Chain A
Amino acid sequence: MKILVPVKRVVDYNVKVRVRGDGSGVELAGVKMAINPFDEIAVEEAVRLREASMATEVVAVSCGPTACQETLRTALAMGADRAILVETDAELQPLAVAKLLKAVADKEQPDLVICGKQAIDDDANQTGQILAALMGRGQATFASKLVLSGRTLEVTREVDGGLETLALELPAVVTADLRLNEPRYATLPNIMKAKKKPLEVLPAGALGVDVAPRLRHTRHAEPEARKAGIRVADVAELVSRLKNEAKVI
């Protein structure tokens, strides 16, 4: 069984991003980049399935510029077997990414695709769902648990009211939530080994997909900062201010 895991290179989650002075976007120069945390969880889950002999091969794929090779090396160091970079310098929106992934899936014929549920840069939460639709397959989003038996996958999902479990026949698309697993740290020997694992570069243009952006991002701004509050001395002052000043209790 083959698992495809799409991974995205994003600004590290510890970085507080700044908008460029002219509002044209977010300042990325000199900013620390990392694998999207949800994708890291997806890679971990796929590697665990292979380690449990439920899967035979884990293929990581990323769409974007050359620098995404770094992200793919991270996935390889965690245990993915090989990687594919769909290379382009063009701005990619979720629909375009999903179409590129669909083209890769058509070639690779994975039994399972595990995506992260959202990327922490654009927070779109779309790609897995779009890919499932384009593939005409079932989807299980926001997964916190996967149980595979034969060709049936049971996925527990985090929904607003609690948890829900779905059953899907493979092939299917799953998107990973935070509590699916705790990703391992790549060890130095595995980082070294990852450098020798196969990483194929496919020019996005060769996949015959229209990736032109459909949405225009015309202006970026930082939200209004909350005005500084005050420190209260004790609980009595807090209660008095909430009652008399804020009038919220």
Chain B
Amino acid sequence: MKTLVIAEHDNAALAPATLNVLAAAARLGGEVDLLVAGQDCRAVAEVAAAVAGVARVILVDAPAYKDQLAENLAALVVAQVRTKSYGAVLAAASAFGKNLAPRVAALLDVAQVSDVVSITAVGRYVRPIYAGNVLVSVESDEPVQVLTVRPTSFDAVAATGGAATVEEAQAEADLGLSRLVGRALSKSERPELGSAAIVVSGGRGLGNGDNYQQVLAPLADRLGAALGASRAAVDAGYVPNDYQVGQTGKIVAPGLYLAVGISGAIQHLAGMKDSKVIVAINKDPDAPIFQVADYGLVGDLFEAVPQLTASLAS
């Protein structure tokens, strides 16, 4: 069986999550091809060709794919599956993959399995439901297995060491069903939230956006950490939406997660409870976050966090 992985990229760089999806694809056995569809994205295809375990990079370079619109991409993926007889299609359970994969599955008339965290064989998966409170084993006999996979559950394959061929493939028609008007992407010098080794996350306890920046950012800088947030902090406008960790935000599993002024609602825990070490700083000794924290500090964050930052400097 051959597997097609959908590369996530911005026409310039390959998203790190793609390396985790390739690791999941390897669990299915058989050859793994990687589809790089975009415009002026040959550089991405060349980087992708060096990734360990990729047999072929399928490069489709056309204006219809420039903005990664789901309608055009789904039609392309389906055409590739039909002409090349792929038995599985995998994408990351990221905003990109979640948007695209169900459309692919629908056009193939197969049931997709979402957010796979473990693969034992083709058609044998485990995925979380109910905000991660339940793990369900799923069996599928679908002729094409369409999966989104949770990147933090699979260790990334090596970015180098591979020697895939780059094959160009035909673009499909531009369906014109949607069009990009614009993007407002957060720019940050910090590591990417989804793959950072350390995450410093703030909640409603920070009180406002200025406090968030003044109290948490120096700690994150000192630790070389990514910044995250609870939904309450995002809803209140302390930080942009892409900081949100949780059931409906990003799933993270860093080596160290510091939850500051976050109560620990199940929807938040769903996004971070697979972190290796969890630290909670909260003034409420009964806050549920302490039930998952390896190290809990009961106290006022406005005192504790600056102290922590200062003691890391020395």
Contact = CB atoms under 8 A, between A and B. Distances in A.
B40 interface: no
Contacts of A94: 102, 111-112
A178 B291 CA distance: 26
A232 B100 CA distance: 45
Interface in A152-194: 154, 157-169, 172, 177-179
B173 interface: no
A241 interface: yes
A122 B113 CA distance: 11
Contacts of B307: 235
Contacts of B242: 158-162
A141 B98 contact: yes
B134 A222 contact: yes
Nearest to A98: B106
Contact of A16 (B99, B100, B247, B266): B266
Interface residues of B, number: 84
B241 A163 contact: yes
A141 B100 CA distance: 10
Given A120-B131, A165-B180, A231 B273 contact: no
B181 A123 contact: no
A160 to B, nearest CB: 5
Interface string A211-236: 00111111111110010111110111
B308 A239 contact: yes
Contacts of B276: 248
Nearest to B280: A229
A133 interface: yes
B104 to A, nearest CB: 8
Contact of A154 (B111, B181, B186): B181
A125 interface: yes
Given A130-B103, A221-B135, A122 B297 contact: no
Contacts of B134: 17, 19, 26, 220-223
Contacts of B231: 178
A52 B120 CA distance: 52
B277 A222 contact: no
Nearest to B139: A216
A248 B256 contact: yes
Interface string B238-255: 001110000110100001
Chain B interface main SS type: mixed
Contacts of B114: 123-126
Contacts of A179: 234-235, 241
Given A214-B111, A241-B295, A248 B99 contact: no
Interface residues of A, number: 78
Contacts of B298: 231
A17 B131 CA distance: 10
B293 A16 contact: no
Interface string B266-280: 110000010011110
Contacts of B250: 160
A126 B105 contact: yes
A121 to B, nearest CB: 6
A238 interface: yes
A248 B235 CA distance: 31
B1 interface: no
Contacts of B181: 154, 165-167
Contacts of B179: 166-168
A93 interface: yes
Nearest to B293: A229
Contacts of B162: none
A102 to B, nearest CB: 10
A118 B111 CA distance: 16
22 contacts: A13-B267, A95-B109, A123-B247, A124-B112, A129-B100, A133-B103, A139-B70, A141-B70, A141-B98, A162-B240, A163-B185, A217-B136, A217-B138, A223-B128, A223-B134, A226-B294, A230-B296, A235-B307, A235-B311, A242-B279, A242-B295, A249-B198
Given A178-B248, A238-B295, 14 more contacts: A17-B133, A95-B111, A123-B114, A159-B96, A165-B182, A214-B111, A220-B137, A223-B273, A226-B291, A229-B293, A232-B295, A235-B307, A249-B198, A249-B223
Closest 5 CB pairs of A and B: A138-B177, A133-B106, A129-B102, A214-B111, A229-B294
